[in-house]
């Protein structure tokens, strides 16, 4: 064990000897200067969000967005642009959802709600039942069938505000939206209403994917805004016997064809070795999808523009991948990984940007400690631009299927404080994106791609 520790320490020490060249600093400075002085990415984001909002996989909006991105990449004089086909599930929200509280003590109140993605509908007549509030899986289990059968379960576990990194809070609370309907149906619930996954106190409902479990009845599931959730909780304290009426006509339809969009700049020395980077094009049907993940799409496209405009000819092939279907079943990710494996392609690394166009901090790196140490050696290059985070950890769902192939995976890490204010909600609009923050992210990814192209990390 002692010899193993010494060997590991030696490897990390050798990795730290990865020298930084003066011209690396010069090129990175030029990348940031060009990105921060240009509004191309912001203009692309505005066009995407205003012309193709609600581009959930299988929708007409998603199909039109694929055509637009393809045309945009072709205008950039890349060496090749092509489509990677895949089949996606299709879901229709139907008519606007209705949720009404009826209480002898508190009166009648309309709630701001939306159906959770892939929820079944209530039928045209809707459903009406007493409501039972739960704040944890343990409370649900304790109530059991005696406390739940025939009722609507109100999941009201707030995101924990004590976590600095808000993705940790999201991870703790997301079970309510993803699995709450089936968990409640096990005990005889006829519907569920779920507190939106955000720490913001506003009147926007946040949708997202949910999963039904086999052999358990499928019941309708709504998300409710945090303000309305707080009100509903208060009304239940005054009148535990109040009723809730829910109506939606959502339904799943037949699968349709869609595509990943891929563009490449071929390498001058090793064109068969690839550095891939990208974000996902699909976005929930009630939102413009600016932070999730229009920002990641335009940042990835921006990497290609920066290389072209600065005259940087990469040694290895650069590949931008605009993924489809991240929000639902990650079939775009699966199609890409299957293609990489079938073609026996060699990837030096893959980078995902899907944490919003907020101020970037650095990268989470899913790779060996040796590779992480090599990348950390570039921290001094990034430091003037506020980039300091280089930690071993997860990457992202659109590139994780590449991990079994031994490909180092990186994810752009951004300031997470405001991300869940807008994720999957109507408030996720182009107008709430800051151009400087967006372009800091573009430049950070482009600089990482440049360094990966010029230095070995394995």
Report whether 425 contacts 209 (CB < 8 A): no
Domain 94-249 is found in CATH 1.10.3210.50? no
Q: How confident is the model at residue 19 (pLDDT cuts 50, 70, 90)?
A: low
Containing H/E element for 194? strand 191-195
Can you tell me whether residue 315 is helix, strand or coil?
Answer: coil
Tens digits of residue pLDDT in 153-198: 999 999 999 999 999 999 999 999 999 999 999 999 999 999 999 9
Compute the distance between CA of residue 322 and CA of residue 281 in angstroms, rounded to an integer: 6
Q: What is the mean pLDDT of the chain?
A: 95
pLDDT for 89 beyond 60:
yes
Buried b (16+ CB within 10 A) or exposed e, 394-422: ebbbbbbbbbeeebbbbbbbbebebbbbb
Tokens of 275: 């550095």
Tens digits of residue pLDDT in 39-62: 999 999 999 999 999 999 999 999
Tens digits of residue pLDDT in 121-139: 999 999 999 999 999 999 9
Supply the pLDDT for residue 22: 66
Supply the pLDDT for residue 365: 98
pTM of the entire structure?
Answer: 0.93
Angle between helices 40-51 and 295-309 (to 10 degrees): 140
Tens digits of residue pLDDT in 353-399: 999 999 999 999 999 999 999 999 999 999 999 999 999 999 999 99
Other beta carbons within 10 angstroms of residue 81's beta carbon come to 18
Compute the distance between CA of residue 37 and CA of residue 120 in angstroms, rounded to an integer: 48
Q: Rounded mean pLDDT of 233-252?
A: 97
Distance of CA 187 to the CA centre of its chain: 32
pLDDT for 217 beyond 70:
yes
Tens digits of residue pLDDT in 318-359: 999 999 999 999 999 999 999 999 999 999 999 999 999 999
Report percent pLDDT > 90 for the chain. Answer: 95
Domain 18-90+254-454 is found in CATH 3.40.630.10? yes
Q: Where in the chain is the domain with CATH 3.40.630.10?
A: 18-90+254-454
Report whether 433 contacts 290 (CB < 8 A): yes
Report percent pLDDT > 70 for the chain. Answer: 95
pLDDT for 67 beyond 90:
yes
Compute the distance between CA of residue 270 and CA of residue 36 in angstroms, rounded to an integer: 30
Q: Return the sign of the alpha-carbon dihedral for residues 265, 271, 275, 280.
A: positive
Q: Where in the chain is the domain with CATH 3.50.30.30?
A: 94-249
Q: How many CA atoms lie within 13 A of 358 on its CB side?
A: 18
Cis peptide bond upstream of 293, omega within 30: yes
Burial of 263 (0-12, 13-18, 19+ CB in 10 A): buried
pLDDT for 416 beyond 60:
yes
Supply the pLDDT for residue 6: 44
Tokens of 58: 């299988």
Report whether 297 contacts 430 (CB < 8 A): no
Provide the pairing of β-strand 191-195 with 221-224. Answer: parallel
Q: Rounded mean pLDDT of 215-234?
A: 98
Distance of CA 308 to the CA centre of its chain: 28
């Amino acid at each position: 064990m002692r010899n193993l520790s010494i060997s590991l320490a030696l490897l990390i020490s050798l990795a730290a000897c990865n020298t930084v060249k003066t011209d690396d600093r010069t090129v990175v400075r030029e990348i940031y200067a060009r990105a921060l002085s240009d509004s191309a990415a912001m203009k692309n984001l505005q066009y995407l969000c205003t012309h193709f909002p609600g581009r959930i996989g299988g929708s007409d909006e998603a199909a039109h967005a694929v055509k637009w991105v393809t045309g945009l990449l072709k205008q950039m004089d890349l060496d090749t642009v092509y489509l990677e086909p895949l089949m996606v599930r299709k879901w229709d929200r139907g008519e606007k959802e209705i949720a009404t509280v009826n209480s002898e003590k508190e009166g009648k109140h309309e709630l701001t709600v939306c159906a959770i993605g892939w929820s079944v509908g209530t039928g045209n007549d809707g459903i009406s039942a007493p409501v039972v509030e739960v704040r944890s899986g343990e409370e649900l289990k304790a109530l059991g069938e005696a406390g739940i059968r025939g009722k609507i379960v109100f999941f009201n576990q707030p995101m924990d505000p004590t976590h600095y990194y808000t993705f940790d809070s999201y991870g703790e609370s997301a079970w309510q939206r993803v699995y709450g309907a089936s968990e409640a149906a096990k005990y005889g619930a006829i519907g569920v209403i779920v507190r939106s996954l955000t720490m913001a106190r506003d009147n926007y409902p946040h949708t997202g994917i949910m999963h039904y479990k086999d052999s358990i009845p499928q019941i309708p599931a709504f998300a409710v805004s945090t303000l309305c959730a707080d009100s509903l909780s208060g009304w239940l304290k005054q009148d535990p016997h109040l009723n809730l009426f829910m109506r939606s006509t959502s339904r799943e339809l037949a699968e349709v064809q869609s595509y990943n969009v891929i563009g490449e700049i071929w390498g001058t020395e090793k064109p068969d070795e690839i550095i891939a980077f990208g974000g996902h094009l699909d976005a929930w049907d009630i939102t413009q999808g600016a932070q999730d993940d229009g920002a990641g799409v335009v940042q990835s496209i921006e990497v290609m523009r920066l290389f072209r405009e600065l005259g940087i000819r990469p040694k290895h092939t650069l590949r931008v991948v605009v993924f489809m279907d991240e929000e639902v079943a990650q079939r775009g990710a699966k199609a890409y990984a299957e293609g990489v494996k079938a073609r026996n392609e060699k990837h030096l690394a893959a980078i995902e940007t899907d944490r919003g166009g907020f101020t970037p901090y650095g990268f989470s790196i899913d790779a060996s400690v040796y590779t992480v140490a090599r990348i950390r050696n570039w921290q001094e290059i990034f430091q003037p631009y506020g980039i300091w985070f280089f930690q071993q950890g997860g990457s992202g769902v659109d590139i994780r299927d590449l991990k079994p192939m031994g490909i180092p995976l990186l994810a752009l890490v951004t300031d997470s404080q405001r991300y869940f204010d807008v994720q999957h909600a109507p408030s996720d609009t182009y107008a709430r994106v800051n151009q400087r923050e967006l372009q800091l992210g573009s430049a950070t990814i482009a600089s990482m791609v440049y360094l990966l192209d010029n230095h070995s990390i394995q």
